[in-house]
């Protein structure tokens, strides 16, 4: 685990696409907290690495097995991690 997740919350839209894909949030949270940033551009991966060390916001992006996109966003102060759809940001 590279950083604390804080309180984990999810939007109804994200929960819906996870349910449709029959996948659990923990599957994606585990990737996020261990540095698998998913489908973000290379420069964003580098930014995430910097953010882990310096205490800035961290964003990962994944595609569910049902081909829906989800984002996971951990706040800079590590108080919250939110699972959401890109259009909900």
> What average pLDDT does range 74-88 have in this prediction?
98
Number of domains in the chain: 1
Specify if 28 maps to a domain. Answer: yes
Sign of CA dihedral 61, 30, 3, 5: positive
Q: Residue 67: inside a domain, yes or no? A: yes
Among the listed residues 9, 2, 6, the one whose alpha carbon sits nearest the alpha carbon of residue 54: 2
Range of the domain at 37: 7-88
Reported as a single tens digit per residue, the pLDDT across 10-43 is: 999 999 999 999 999 999 999 999 999 999 999 9
DSSP characters over 6-44:
-EEEE-HHHHHHHHHHT--HHHHHHHHHTT--BS--HHH
Residue 2 in any domain: the answer is: no
Any domain includes 1: no
Residue 68: inside a domain: yes
Provide the token pair at 80: 């919250």
Q: Does residue 76 lie within any of the structural domains?
A: yes
State the pTM of this model.
Answer: 0.96
């Amino acid at each position: 685990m590279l950083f604390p997740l804080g309180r984990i919350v999810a939007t109804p839209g994200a929960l819906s696409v996870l349910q449709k894909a029959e996948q659990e949030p923990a599957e994606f949270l585990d990737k996020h907290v261990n540095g698998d940033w998913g489908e973000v551009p290379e420069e964003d991966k580098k930014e995430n690495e910097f953010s882990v060390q310096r205490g800035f916001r961290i964003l990962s992006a994944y595609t569910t097995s049902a081909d829906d996109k989800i984002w996971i966003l951990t706040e800079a102060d590590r108080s919250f991690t939110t699972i959401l759809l890109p259009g909900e940001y």
